[in-house]
Chains A and B, each alone.
Chain A
Amino acid sequence: MEYYFQTRGLCVGYQGKPLIKDIEIGLCKGEIMTLVGPNGAGKSTLLKSIAGQLKLLGGAVFLDGENTGRMSGRELSKKMAVVFTEKMQTELMTCEDVVATGRYPYTGYFGILSGEDRALVGEAMELVHVSGIKHQDFGKVSDGQRQRVMLARAICQKPEMIVMDEPVSFLDIRHKLEFLSVLLALREKKGLTVIMSLHELELAKIVSDKILCLKGEYVEGYGPPEEIFSGDFIKRLFGLSEENFQGNEKLLGYLRQVGKGE
């Protein structure tokens, strides 16, 4: 089977110390994979390594059959966008300015935006419903809006894949659902492949095609959600009970509705 995104014998960690070893993932185009696991299990480390932010300690990451380690920063940035929870200096930048930085890999030497770039920025903001706040100061909008602005930024980078570290952690439940529904819509429309980490297991279960469980030195579990969430696997991973995962049908219905509605 031909995977769009694949890792082979991937080993990740900080400063030469391996944290997780032998990671073998394969994703087809348009699939959503979610990383779950307790705090400190290495979710961010893995995401950063996949995105080329951390040096790999072993193995390789393949994107569309190409080793990402051999791609230039610019080449990679046209295929993969990221949404991280990082401190930024966005003084005097409007939401639109922040989104526009997504066009970086495509603009010329001085980074001046063309009309086409501007149109794409507008389109991306429309897609995640933040056009209304485009002239507002990025530092002064709510967490929910900020996350969506960062998603818009990633979208107008025109990637084939987005890597996100806990994109909905600071959002209330309504905004969590809205955010994920935008992702589902994007997957539908553009065949976007997504790798992200979520703490919300209920949401992970319904939006993901694959789940990767991290705990300890090796991958604890990997497979479609039905498989991962059956039995007491998650219970063992976190020490949780079955009841946490009931009532999902309603939630899924709502999520789909939100996705179509807006």
Chain B
Amino acid sequence: MKNSREHRCILAYILLVFGVFCLFILNACIGSVRIPLPEIAGALTGRGSGGTSARILWDIRLPRAAAGLILGGALSLSGYLLQTFFNNPIAGPFVLGISSGAKMVVALVMVFLMRWQLFLGREVRVTSAFMILAAFLGAMLSMGFVLMMSRKVSHMSMLVVSGVMIGYICSAVTELVVTFASDAQIVNLHNWSRGSFSGMTWENVQVMAMVTVPAFAVVFLLSKPLLAYRLGEGYARNMGVNLKALRVSLVVLSSILSACVVAFAGPISFVGIATPHLVKKLLGTAEPLRMIPACFLGGSAFCLLSDLLARTLLAPTELSISTVTAIFGAPVVLWIMSERRKGRAA
């Protein structure tokens, strides 16, 4: 039994790594310009001709795929942390309004800076790090509200309802801000506020990796106290866990991860809720030590697949990423809810 569980785990990991690898390659190959595999191999190893296809590959597709890989993992991990923290299976950065909060502050900052640019008459460069900071601020703002509500109402569905309401308020403010933005930037802002991986550069990828990789490492190092936390506060404290420190790190880490996603790709729905559950079922265990890396890989695969579909389904028109993730993610959430109901009845 023990052995078969371990085998399943190993198998699941092989599947996840293989899946991410394949999807990454597919993302590089498929697009409005077809690039055959040999040429990709050539471009990657530097033996390529340096022609148009190599440029498309290096400047557009590869950074985009890398962003999907990193941000997908970040989203899924953020969802996992929130679900653990609130002891709520349908918690996630999007549902709890954290993504929308981050989106609002980023939009405010962008529009404000544009106004300021006009006023000064020269260009102010907005660095990625600055955007992440703004998103983090917004994420913490929403998180603060949700935490406040969670103290008042302990019921699971009420928490989600308050999160969704906060999300609506933040989205309304964002819409308002976008309406007042100057024409040229509206397109930009509008695309981003719907969520998309397009227009990623290697510099973006570098910054997001610099945020996500350390955050992932810290989460992984917390896997033992996370296991204890799942048993409830009483038991966790009895096991010698420093609850206060753990709670603060959970809040900060999940906010950083979702803020990073919002800063670069805008809000993306359902990846954070759905992936941890799918991965859990695949692994056959919810042990944090095994869940955390698998969760990251699962999120990467989910986002790579969704982005591929978003780009190709109605090509040359590009769908927003949330359109695709919602189609796959929402049924998963419904399935989780019905499973829980069944589990309780049994």
Contact = CB atoms under 8 A, between A and B. Distances in A.
Given A73-B242, A84-B232, A104-B240, 8 more contacts: A53-B234, A73-B240, A77-B238, A80-B238, A86-B233, A87-B232, A101-B228, A105-B239
A82 interface: yes
A112 B343 CA distance: 29
Contact of A89 (B84, B221, B234): B84
Contact of A76 (B221, B240, B242): B240
A81 B238 contact: yes
16 contacts: A52-B238, A73-B239, A76-B238, A77-B238, A81-B238, A82-B238, A86-B235, A88-B232, A89-B286, A90-B230, A93-B285, A97-B287, A101-B235, A104-B224, A105-B240, A111-B224
A210 B289 CA distance: 43
Contacts of B233: 53, 86
Interface string B225-250: 00110111111011111100000000
Interface of A: 48, 51-53, 72-77, 80-82, 84, 86-93, 97-98, 101, 104-105, 107, 109-112, 135, 139-140
Contacts of A77: 238-240
B194 interface: no
Chain A binding surface SS class: loop
Interface of B: 1, 84, 87, 221, 223-224, 227-228, 230-235, 237-242, 280, 284-287, 289, 343, 346
Given A88-B230, A111-B227, A73 B87 contact: no
Nearest to B229: A89
A81 B235 CA distance: 9
B1 A135 contact: yes
Contact of B234 (A48, A76, A80, A105): A48
Contacts of B241: 73
Nearest to B346: A140
Contacts of B84: 89
Given A89-B84, A91-B280, A73 B228 contact: no
A107 B238 contact: no
Contacts of B242: 73
A104 B227 CA distance: 9
B224 A84 contact: no
A139 B187 CA distance: 51
Contacts of A76: 238, 240
A88 B223 contact: no
Contacts of B1: 135
A195 B237 CA distance: 18
A86 B239 CA distance: 15
Nearest to B288: A111
A90 to B, nearest CB: 7
Nearest to A51: B238
A261 to B, nearest CB: 29
Given A89-B84, A101-B228, A104-B228, A73 B235 contact: no
Contacts of B287: 97
A138 to B, nearest CB: 10
A144 B228 CA distance: 23
Given A73-B242, A92-B284, A84 B235 contact: yes
B238 A110 contact: no
Nearest to A72: B240
A112 to B, nearest CB: 8
